[in-house]
Each structure stands twice: as C-alpha cells, then as structure tokens.
Amino acid sequence: MSTTVAKADATHRQPASAAHRRALLAAIVLTLAVAPVATWQLLDRVARGGAPAAVRGTYVPLWPPSSPPWLERLHVVQLAKQLVRAGYSIKVDGNLDAVTKSALADYLRLDAAHPLSPFLANELSGTVILGSRNPAAWNSRFGLKRKTGFVERPLVGPGGQLDAGGNVVQR
C-alpha cells in the first residue's frame, strides 16, 4: 500500500480573477432581472391559450407591469400618429382627450387576435368602440379642418357633441 503526500498549496484552488467575478455577478443580476418578466410572459401565454376565444380578447394578466406616466404619454403619442397615418385629422399632443378617444373608437376593430393593452382598456372604459374605419366621415364631423357653421355646438364640454369618453351625445 502506498500513500501520496501532496504539498498543502498544490491542492488549493486559485482564486477567481476580478473579471470572472464581475462576469458572474452580471450574469446573476441579468437572470434575476429577466426571470419575473419571462415568468409573466409564460403565464400570460398559458392562460390565453386555454381560454375560449371570447375571453382571450378581454384577458388582463394577474401581474401587469406598471408603466411610468412618461411611457403612457409616449404610447398615446404613438397611437395619435397611427391615427394620423390612417387619415384622421387630430392633434398629436400626447393627451388622450375626448376627440382622440372618438377617433380611436372609429378606428379600432377589436378581436381575439388584437386585444387592447391594459393601459388603453383602462383609458377607453366607457367608450363605445364602433370600428367603422371611415376617417373621411369622421373628419367632416370632428376633424381639425372641418367646415363649421356659426351655430355649431362645441366638440367637447357642456353642451358638446362628444362626452368625456369620446361618445357622440344625442340631443
């Protein structure tokens, strides 16, 4: 029987360099940052896939990420630009006012494949989505460059043509 004797410093592992430690720490932080979002996306897909078509369009995830106000304003600006590209004559100022809501109600066509985002669903609560997509008719009644008469009701406000949700007020 033989035994091998090793020097004490020969079996000791060399310490990791500072660059290796930083890379390992960055990988751990990235994993911890991505894991909740990936889990949310996975649960969202699983829940949508198992729901009937009528429910899938109205599904709101259990944990929607909250967005800061500047991001919501950017979202409204992008929506307004999309409406302008579609032919609607509206202001692109970042405010989701009654006129912009009315244009969205005329433009949007909701189905299971194109549900509203939680932010937009919240902002358009109480707005009747028409989905007629007729910018020429909408512009002649509510657009910025419409022909107006001397005795026309204002677009919004007391006695206006639109309520706060962008719905046409019948008088």
Q: Which residue has the higher pLDDT, 91 or 58?
A: 91
Domain contains 108: yes
**What pLDDT, in 10s, does the model give residues 49-82?**
554 444 444 445 444 556 677 777 888 889 999 9
- Helical pair 98-107 and 135-142, crossing angle rounded to 10 deg: 160
Do 22 and 84 lie in one domain? The reply is no
Q: Does residue 3 form part of some domain?
A: no
pLDDT given at position 55: 44
Q: Does residue 89 sit in the same domain as residue 32?
A: no
pTM: 0.57
Contacts of residue 90, defined as CB under 8 A and 6 or more positions apart, other chains included, come to: 80, 83, 84, 99, 100, 103, 143, 144
Question: CA–CA separation, 121 vs 161, rounded Å?
Answer: 23
Structural domains in the chain (count): 2
> Are 24 and 84 in the same domain?
no
Q: Does residue 26 sit within a domain? A: yes
pLDDT mean across residues, the chain? 77
39-43, 67-71, 113-117: segment of lowest average pLDDT: 39-43
Residue 166 lies in a domain: no
Paired tokens of 84: 């302008």
Structure tokens at 151: 């005795």
Which residue range(s) make up the domain with 81?
69-142
Same domain as 85, residue 124: yes
Whether 97 and 37 share a structural domain: no
The answer to whether residue 120 is domain-embedded is: yes
Minimal CA–CA distance to 107: which of 142, 126, 133, 71? 133
Residue 159: inside a domain: no
Let me know if residue 153 belongs to a domain. no
Residue 155 · residue 142 · CB < 8 Å: yes
Residue 113 scores a pLDDT above 60? yes
**Residue 164 placed within a domain:** no
Q: Average of pLDDT values for 127-135? A: 88
Residues 137 and 73 in one domain: yes
89 and 49 both lie in a single domain: no
48 and 77 part of one domain: no
Q: Which pLDDT band holds residue 136 (cuts at 50, 70, 90)?
A: very high
